[in-house]
Structure 1
């Protein structure tokens, strides 16, 4: 390009559009021309090399990984979040939660009833979620959520905070995630309020859940899992949990005292919810996520690249035709 004046004008417009974030209409008004003129000038900037658009390599590789996983796992949608070279589990978890907060708005649009489980990943997701205005939307906790420890990650608290971000309302499930005894659970779930909330939670249109590794679990840190519970889980060959419901490597619920004391929707209920989004990070949860896939509990997954790579390796080495 020989015309210095033209080049200067193209650079000026390109900076306003690509760097400052102005719309073409805003630039047109600022300069005093029509919007189509700005559109043509932006195209000219690309044609002459004033503007060069690059696709970041890791983004391309993530898209390829997503597509491979969707095909191998027969998933509706898989979002793979770049770790950007980090090996810090907490940083990766926050990146996955942030990505989930960016994708969820388009998935929950036009929904009226949203369900949310509990845990640190979902806590970060809710914190990152943008403020919206969905006045007719209601959020339901999928599992009991009262206790004295780490209340900020309990399902009731997350449902409340999430409803504020959405501009909607929420319900509360006034019960612990795991009752002290089966007798106490029966008394609680027989109460009209708790029964009603659980029935409504089973009818949500979209559910957001985390996936846990029972042997490196927030539940143990919070005192929900005692040594006897861990022993029962090992005896039952549990590999993971969703909403405090434990399952084995085939995705089948563990039939033991612990699972029978959980107050919340059951794993089978997830299969009747139109869209279930699993949000998880860390290769320590590989077995749990794989088993959850065998159980057909997820429609969409948001995971980090390390976990995605391990899942793809497993998918290529193990037949999952039983997933249908």
Structure 2
């Protein structure tokens, strides 16, 4: 919650029809209201004037800058960044947190807690949540508090099998979120990426996988990450090798969401890697009512800018350093 500090300046501003006594009373009313915390009713009794006169004097004091109102709080700059981003990209909700010189891990944890609190406030109004994968999604799920919400169903948005960094996979995160909500979930019994396009098509056509993907397309809210493919968690997890990264770079890749790689126009790349992904694509994500993401790191601002511009994202959680870089760059 912001702390509002009201600073009052008394100065003689001519050009009005108030008497000297009325002006003295107006300044007294402003002092009582802004500095002493009196209610307008209390002031009416104190100075013997009606409520409409008190309201008019308070309004006039602001208009003539006898009273100037400042917000003095360390979070003011983050609120300003939120408003700029909301207006710039027509977003439903933006939350900016202050990094306060914390390291990247601490910043991500703070963002995860903030996003988890927001999700908790929405949870009674939704019936299904879609879960992607990666560090930012993990930060939210890890921070989410245990609740009893059996009306929710949790669904992975991308395949989630593998040996490395299992805690970042969609199936694991889906299971963890379902546990925290004490509710049901589905699972995609397939990896996020397979070796060939034909294998991917066969898996996608299987009943178990296709049914879960169809559920994912119809979730009320999705939690995804926005990535820079050249500094990607997918590389850490063994899905992308040096040859893949070079190939993506030559294709002018800018970013990825749910491991769907896109260009500077926000269009999915016509690339064999995209054709090997088992999960929802960008067109599927674009029709989900609310898509949340957490972003931290200036290396992601170009990918984020394009994703926001294309309105793949509706709800953003970001740190102030990254938010400032995004605003100054675009």
Which TM-score applies when normalising by structure 2? 0.77
Within 2, Cα distance between the matches of 1:107 and 1:68? Answer: 23
1:251–1:293 CA contact under 8 A, matched in 2: no
Query: What's the counterpart of residue 311 of structure 1?
Result: 326
* Cα displacement (A) at 1:197: 0.5
1:155 aligns with 2:170: yes
- Aligned match of 2:91: 75
Matches within 5 A, 1:91-106: 91-106=106-121
Deviations 1:289-309 (A, max 9, x none): 011112210111111111111
User: Equivalents in 1 of 2:324, 2:273: separation in Å?
Assistant: 33
SS in 2 for 1:160: helix
- C-alpha contact (below 8 Å) 1:108/1:206 kept by paired residues: no
2 CA distance for matches of 1:123 and 1:165?
A: 13
Which residue pairs with 2:63 in the alignment?
A: none
Question: Bigger radius of gyration, 1 or 2?
Answer: 2
- Residue 236 of structure 2 corresponds to which residue in structure 1? 221
Structure 1 gap segments, 5+ residues each: 1-45, 49-53, 316-324
- CA RMSD, aligned part only? 1.7
Aligned partners of 2:126, 2:279: CA distance in 1, in Å?
Answer: 21
Distance change in 2, residues 1:56/1:158 (3 Å): farther
Question: CA offset at residue 162 of structure 1?
Answer: 0.6
Residue 186 in structure 1 maps to residue 201 in structure 2 = yes
In the alignment of these two chains, the number of paired residues is 264
Does 2:175 align with 1:126?
no
Give the conservation status (yes or no) of the 8 Å contact 2:136–2:293. Answer: no
- Cα deviation code 1:253-278 (max 9, x no counterpart): 11110000000001011111011111
1:134-153 alignment runs, 5 A limit: 134-153=149-168
Displacement after TM superposition at 1:55 (Å) = 7.4
Q: Distance in 1 between matches of 2:158 and 2:138?
A: 15
- SS at structure 1 position matched to 2:75: helix
Post-superposition Cα deviations, 1:43-86, rounded to whole Å, max 9, x if no partner, equal xxx959xxxxx977221221111111111121111110111122
Q: Does 1:275 align with 2:290?
A: yes
Aligned to 1:197: 212
Residues 201 and 314 of structure 1: CA distance in aligned 2, closer, same or farther (over 3 Å)? same
Task: State the alpha-carbon separation in 2 of the partners of residues 312 and 57 from structure 1.
Answer: 22
CA positional deviation for 1:101 = 1.1
**How does 1:84-95 map onto structure 2 within 5 Å?**
84-86=100-102, 88-95=103-110
1:285 maps onto 2:320 in alignment: no
Q: Distance in 2 between matches of 1:215 and 1:193?
A: 33
Which residue number in structure 1 is paired with residue 268 of structure 2?
253
Match of 1:61 among 52, 74, 77: 77
Distance 1:302 1:191 in 2: 36
* Superposition TM-score, scaled by structure 1 size: 0.78
Residue 19 of structure 1 is matched in structure 2 by: none
- Give the counterpart of 1:109 among 124, 141, 147: 124
